[in-house]
């Protein structure tokens, strides 16, 4: 698996035919562009940036309707599910507004939750759980930006071509002002994206996950 410096140097070769990014004269822009491209894709679901978490409800704790999201949570893939440990039955929760939950939970009745909303970094349930359940959350994880030359992450191990060619295209426009090169890179970007999308669709079928935006 390559690191941040390896990718910088590949981009330098693509754009200038030189072996190191330092030789291009726009090293800092190469670094920032790589991170900008990753950030622009960070909310999109791929098989490698998906995670699942399991949280148990606790009806006896204060504010028993609130449960922390994973520390690396970025976005939901699909609505959370509530699993009943007595028979492993699963119910998909429906998303409502926070005001809706205020009204539902204002009656102070405890029951099996059917609804949820997200407030900051917390999942809020309605009704307030009446006993222990498992909350299953499929989510897109946050990935820290690349800083040091030796840094690496799943984007570089699983989607390097996409990051590389998109960075090439942005840098071809600025600072190089080479619209022809930018246009020539589009087929490579499309092919890299198609490969990732196909792998992701296969992964979703295996995991039996139906994303909200499908």
Q: Which helix (H) or strand (E) holds 169?
A: helix 160-173
Average pLDDT over every residue of 189-207: 96
Tell me the domain boundaries of the chain: 4-42+144-207, 49-140
Q: Is 168 helix (H, G, I), strand (E, B) or coil?
A: helix
Average pLDDT over every residue of 122-147: 97
Cα–Cα distance for residue pair 105/89, rounded to 1 Å? 24
Mean pLDDT score of the chain, rounded to an integer? 96
Residue 214's pLDDT is: 54
Residue 155 has pLDDT above 90, yes or no: yes
The pTM for the full model equals: 0.92
Q: Is 50 helix (H, G, I), strand (E, B) or coil?
A: strand
């Amino acid at each position: 698996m390559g690191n941040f410096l390896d990718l910088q140097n590949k981009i330098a070769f693509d754009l200038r035919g030189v072996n190191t990014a330092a030789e291009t004269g726009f090293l800092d822009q190469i670094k920032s562009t790589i991170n900008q491209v990753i950030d622009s894709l960070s909310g999109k679901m791929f098989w490698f940036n998906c995670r699942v978490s399991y949280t148990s409800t606790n009806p006896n704790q204060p504010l028993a309707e609130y449960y922390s999201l994973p520390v690396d949570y970025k976005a939901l893939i699909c609505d959370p599910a509530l699993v009943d440990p007595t028979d492993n039955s699963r119910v998909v929760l429906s998303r409502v507004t926070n005001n809706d939950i205020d009204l539902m939970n204002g009656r102070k009745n405890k029951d099996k939750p059917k609804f949820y909303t997200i407030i900051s970094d917390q999942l809020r349930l309605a009704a307030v759980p009446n006993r222990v359940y498992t909350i299953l959350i499929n989510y897109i994880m946050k990935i820290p930006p690349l800083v040091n030359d030796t840094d690496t992450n799943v984007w570089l191990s699983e989607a390097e071509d996409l990051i590389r060619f998109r960075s090439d295209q942005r840098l071809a426009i600025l600072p190089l002002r080479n619209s022809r090169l930018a246009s020539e890179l589009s087929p490579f970007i499309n092919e890299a994206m198609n490969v990732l999308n196909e792998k992701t669709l296969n992964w979703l079928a295996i995991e039996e996950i139906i994303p909200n935006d499908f």
